C-alpha cells in the first residue's frame, strides 16, 4: 500500500465522503441500532463557531476537510458538506463534480462574503475527526439513542412489535433479513410491524398477510423533521407501503425551539389507536385498487405516474418494469404500487426509499 497505514486509509475514505454519499447501515435488531447510535453520541460534541472563521482545504486531489481556528482538521460528511456549501451560497451538486481544491476555494470565497454568523458543529471525535452537521444555534437536536431507547421500552410492553423481514439487498427470492432499522449520515429510520394487526392481502395466494406498523424517522443533523407514520407491510415480498388513509394518525415536528421528546412520546398513543382502527375500509380500498387502471398501456401508465406523483420518468419506468415482472396487472393501481415499493427496496438510502413509498401511498389515496 505504498507505506500508507490503515488509519491513513480510513482518514482518506472519510475525507472523500463530501463527494460520494455512503449507503445507509442496516441493523439486525433495534438494540443493535441503539448501541450504534449510543456509541456515536458518546463520541460526539457540539461546538459553536463563527462561520467566517472556518475554512475548508483540500487534503488530497479529491479529499476535502474543514479546519477551524484551533487548527484541528475534520472530515466533512456528504451531508455536512452540503450544509456548509449552502451557507456559502454555493451549489453542492456542482461542487462535487470539481477537484477538491477548486471546490474548497469556492466554499471559502462564499464563506468570506457572508455576514458574520454563529453555527453549531456536531463533531465526532473518532479517528479521523468528522463534522456530522453544521446547524443553526436554534436547532433542537433529538438524539437517535434517546428515541430508540423509548422504542425498546415499548417493545417490552408489546411483544408482537418487531422488525419486518425483507429480501436481502431488495432481491426477490434472496435470504429474508430484518429490514426495518437503518442509520446513515443524514437520518435514522425505524420500521416496526404489529404481528397481531394483519389484513388479508387480496392479491397473495400464499396468505402471508398485510401487517400494520409504524415508521419512526429522525435526523440529528438537520436533514429531516422528526416523524411518525403508520404503514402497511406486505409480508410476501417485504414491501413497505406508507398508509395515508383518513383514520391514520401521524406526527411531524421540526427540530426548532423547545425539546420535542415529550410531544413525540405522546403521539405514540395516537399511532397505537390508528393501528387498532377497523380494517374494513382498508380492505375495500385494496380490492378497488386491483381493478382500477392507471392507463391502457405502459406509456400511459408511466405518463400518469409522472404527472400525479411527480416522479422522474426514469423511476416511473423502472417501477413499471418491476410491476410487470412480479404482478399480474402492472397497469392497475395495486400492481403499480407494488412496482414502486419494490423499487424503493433497491434504493441505497432510506430517505430515497421513504419518498418512493410515500409516492405509492399517494397513489392509493386516488382509489375511489
Q: Determine phi and psi for 366, rounding to 5 degrees.
A: -85, -10
**Cβ-contact 219, 337 below 8 angstroms:** no
Strands (E), the chain: 25-26, 44-50, 55-60, 63-67, 73-76, 118-124, 130-135, 161-162, 165-167, 176-178, 181-183, 188-199, 210-218, 226-234, 239-242, 251-253
Q: What is the pLDDT of residue 205?
A: 53
Per-residue pLDDT of the chain in tens (368 residues, 90 and over written 9): 233 233 343 444 555 566 666 677 889 899 999 999 999 999 999 998 888 888 999 887 778 889 877 778 898 988 999 999 999 999 999 999 999 999 999 999 999 888 778 899 999 988 678 999 999 888 888 899 999 998 898 888 888 888 887 666 655 556 767 778 888 888 998 888 887 766 666 555 545 567 777 888 899 999 988 888 777 776 555 556 655 433 344 566 666 655 566 676 667 666 666 666 666 677 777 788 888 999 999 999 999 999 988 889 999 999 999 999 988 899 999 899 989 988 887 877 777 877 888 888 788 878 87
DSSP annotation string for 187-250: -EEEEEEEEEEEE--TT-TT---EEEEEEEEE-SSSSS-EEEEEEEEETTTTEEEE---TT---
Q: What is the pLDDT of residue 91?
A: 94
Q: What is the pLDDT of residue 10?
A: 46
Question: Which of 346, 66, 182, 367 lies closest to 336, judged by CA?
Answer: 367
Q: What is the pLDDT of residue 80?
A: 93
pTM for this one? 0.74
Q: What is the pLDDT of residue 269?
A: 64
Residue given cell 430515497 in the structure block: 352
DSSP 256: B
Distant-in-sequence, close-in-space partners of 24: CB < 8 Å, separation ≥ 6: 182, 183, 184, 189, 348, 349, 350
DSSP 164: P
**Cβ-contact 164, 209 below 8 angstroms:** no
CA dihedral 131, 259, 52, 127 (to 10 degrees): -20
**Cβ-contact 162, 195 below 8 angstroms:** yes
DSSP 62: T
**Cβ-contact 139, 255 below 8 angstroms:** yes
Amino acid at each position: 500500500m505504498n507505506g500508507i497505514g490503515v488509519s491513513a486509509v480510513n482518514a482518506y475514505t472519510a475525507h472523500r465522503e463530501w463527494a460520494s454519499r455512503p449507503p445507509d447501515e442496516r441493523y439486525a435488531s433495534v438494540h443493535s441500532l441503539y448501541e450504534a447510535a449510543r456509541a456515536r453520541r458518546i463520541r460526539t460534541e457540539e461546538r459553536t463557531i463563527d462561520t467566517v472563521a472556518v475554512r475548508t482545504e483540500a487534503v488530497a486531489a479529491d479529499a476535502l476537510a474543514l479546519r477551524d481556528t484551533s487548527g484541528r482538521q475534520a472530515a466533512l460528511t456528504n451531508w455536512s458538506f452540503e450544509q456548509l456549501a449552502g451557507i456559502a451560497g454555493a451549489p453542492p451538486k456542482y461542487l462535487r463534480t470539481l477537484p477538491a481544491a477548486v471546490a474548497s476555494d469556492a466554499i471559502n470565497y462564499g464563506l468570506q462574503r457572508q455576514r458574520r454568523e454563529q453555527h453549531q458543529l456536531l463533531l465526532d471525535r473518532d479517528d479521523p475527526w468528522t463534522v456530522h452537521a453544521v446547524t443553526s444555534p436554534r436547532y433542537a437536536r433529538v438524539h437517535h439513542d434517546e428515541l430508540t431507547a423509548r422504542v425498546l421500552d415499548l417493545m417490552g410492553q408489546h411483544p408482537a412489535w418487531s422488525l419486518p423481514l425483507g429480501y436481502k439487498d431488495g432481491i426477490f427470492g434472496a435470504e429474508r433479513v430484518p429490514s426495518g432499522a437503518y442509520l446513515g449520515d443524514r437520518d435514522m429510520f425505524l420500521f416496526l410491524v404489529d404481528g397481531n394487526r394483519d389484513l388479508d392481502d387480496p392479491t397473495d395466494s400464499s396468505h402471508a398477510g398485510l401487517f400494520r406498523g409504524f415508521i419512526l424517522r429522525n435526523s440529528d443533523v438537520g436533514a429531516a423533521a422528526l416523524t411518525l407514520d403508520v404503514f402497511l407491510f406486505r409480508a410476501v415480498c417485504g414491501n413497505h407501503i406508507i398508509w395515508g388513509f383518513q383514520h391514520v394518525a401521524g406526527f411531524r415536528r421540526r427540530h426548532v425551539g423547545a425539546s420535542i421528546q415529550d410531544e413525540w412520546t405522546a403521539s405514540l398513543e395516537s399511532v397505537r389507536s390508528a393501528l387498532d382502527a377497523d380494517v374494513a375500509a382498508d380492505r375495500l380500498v385494496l380490492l378497488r385498487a386491483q381493478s382500477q387502471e392507471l392507463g391502457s398501456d405502459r406509456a400511459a401508465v408511466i405518463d400518469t405516474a409522472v404527472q400525479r406523483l411527480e416522479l422522474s420518468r426514469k423511476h416511473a419506468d423502472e417501477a413499471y418494469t418491476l410491476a410487470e415482472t412480479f404482478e399480474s396487472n402492472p397497469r392497475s393501481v395495486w400492481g403499480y404500487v407494488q412496482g414502486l415499493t419494490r423499487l424503493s427496496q433497491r434504493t441505497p438510502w432510506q430517505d430515497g426509499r421513504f419518498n418512493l413509498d410515500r409516492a405509492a401511498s399517494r397513489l392509493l389515496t386516488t382509489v375511489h
